[in-house]
Amino acid sequence: MKCINCQTDNKLKERTAWGGRCFKCRHQFAFEPTAMTGVKITDPMFAKAIANISVNDTLFFTPRQLFYFLDQRWKLKNVDFLHTVQGYIMINIPFGFLAALWALVLKEIFIFVMLAINSLLVWKTFVASRSAKHLYKHRQIFAETLQNWGKIVLVCGIGISLLSSSFLLFLVSCGLGILAIYLGTRKIENQPAKSQEFTIDSNQFQDWIKTWKEINSLTKLLPDPRDTNENAAVSPDVSAYSFDRLVVCDRPEIAQFLITNNFHFENNCAILCVTGYPQSIFDTTMEMLRRNPDLKVYALHDCSPKGLGLVNQLRTSPNWFPDNSAIIIDIGLLPRQIIAGGDNMFVLSSKQNAQDAAQLPAEIRQDLFSDELKWLELGNYVELESFSPQKLIQILNRGIAGSRDLGSDDSSLILLGGTESSIYVVDSFG
């Protein structure tokens, strides 16, 4: 493992002899992969993840964003070669050779040995194609492997059985080939099951963060959002000014992320959370915003039952903008966006979200299609923090830029609730 301080490669023997330090510069290693169980990580891997997610230390990020990033990188790096056609062939060649030597006299033994090996391969690949521990696109690859391997078994097995006049080999080849094709097709057709599970344990991740902070710097990692209830003093000159745009987030973590990365300065907008964060300037900011009759409010939220209620809360709550007093543009995540093309999104699922979806009020359900409601009632949801900081900021910039020409034919926004409404929704996220 290379030392992140001097780039010297330290073998296990050297790391052990120097008490977990680099033998050249004596820098302490944060991780020892040989002592880890489950997901194993190295210092260079963790340092590279931090550099990538922060864009070389230029963007702040939340712990949840780093958690998603590391989990995704681990899954991309650890695609099981066993569940590919190439892996099947590499396994069958040596086992087939040994089985053939063993069965020089009784060829039936060779057939049964190869049947057992390939049946195990097919079953393990089918299980992997249904496992939420793998990326959805990898599950699709595993399913296609089953289909392709089934075709190979059918063609080669039937051909060899005809040449050798073996009816048993013919039956085995047909049975195994058809089974593999059926299992692969069944998985590919099972489109709604897109939810994933984390490979990294959250407690393990917290230990990694703690250990890394003790040894190395982690300046761009945001703490938990905290604020006082005291209003900050604002000069009369500043309070007389009003923003033209307001971004309202459904969670304080996202609001803190945008504020810390100066999104409000670069886009000349205010940023608040529906919970009242940041409390120190919330009342003053709202007073300034209500002075502007041309205010545009951008609702930014997770794709979850709670997140989808943000627009309704902004329109109906007396603390926000009731009676169509502002144009509200939903630039958050919607189920239709994920269903239409969310194979690369990290979809989670929970019983709590399924219960919340079943209890969505009618005013929210009326703006959702039947397949969106079905998707939500399965417990599916997607968090904004599953996007990297750079990607999320780019998406928001495009969403705000696309709202400049409301009502024009070139607008990317859809008006909800008829011509008397002042609520718009972005048709795509990203």
> Where along the chain do its domains lie?
1-58+198-221, 81-188, 236-426
Of 429, 246, 233, give the one whose Cα is nearest residue 331: 429
What pLDDT is recorded for position 125?
Answer: 81
DSSP class of residue 35? G
Residue pair 146/126 in contact (Cβ under 8 Å)? The answer is yes
Of 256, 213, 300, give the one whose Cα is nearest residue 60: 256
Helix, coil or strand: residue 272? strand
Cβ contacts of residue 185 below 8 Å, gap of 6+? Answer: 143, 147
pLDDT string in tens for the chain (430-residue length) = 999 999 999 999 999 999 999 999 999 999 999 888 878 899 999 999 999 999 999 999 999 999 999 998 887 776 655 556 666 566 555 545 544 544 444 556 666 777 777 788 888 888 777 777 777 777 778 888 888 888 888 887 777 777 767 777 788 888 888 888 888 887 655 544 467 888 899 999 999 999 999 999 899 999 998 764 454 444 444 444 568 899 999 999 999 999 999 998 888 899 999 999 998 888 888 888 888 888 899 999 999 999 999 999 998 898 898 876 788 999 999 998 888 776 678 899 999 999 999 999 999 999 899 999 999 999 999 999 999 999 999 989 888 887 766 654 444 555 454 444 456 676 666 5
Neighbours of 185 (CB within 10 A): 15
Neighbours of 277 (CB within 10 A): 22
Name the residue type at position 259.
I
What pLDDT is recorded for position 234?
Answer: 45
pLDDT digits (tens, 9 = 90+) for 267-293: 889 999 999 999 888 888 888 888 888
Residue 26 CA to its chain's centroid (Å): 37
Question: Degrees (nearest 5) of the Cα angle 135, 342, 400?
Answer: 135
Is the domain 236-426 a CATH 3.40.1360.10 member?
yes
Sheet hosting strand 423-426, strand order edge to edge:
270-273, 245-249, 296-300, 327-330, 423-426, 413-416
Pairing of strands 423-426, 413-416: antiparallel
Query: What is the pTM for the complete model shown?
Result: 0.78
What pLDDT is recorded for position 384?
Answer: 95
Residue pair 163/129 in contact (Cβ under 8 Å)? The answer is no
Measured CA to CA, the distance from residue 284 to residue 279 in angstroms comes to 10
Measured CA to CA, the distance from residue 365 to residue 323 in angstroms comes to 20
Of 183, 178, 173, 101, give the one whose Cα is nearest residue 142: 183
What pLDDT is recorded for position 313?
Answer: 93
Asked if the peptide bond before residue 278 counts as cis, ω within 30 degrees of 0, the response is yes
What pLDDT is recorded for position 409?
Answer: 47
Residue pair 284/231 in contact (Cβ under 8 Å)? The answer is yes
DSSP class of residue 303? B
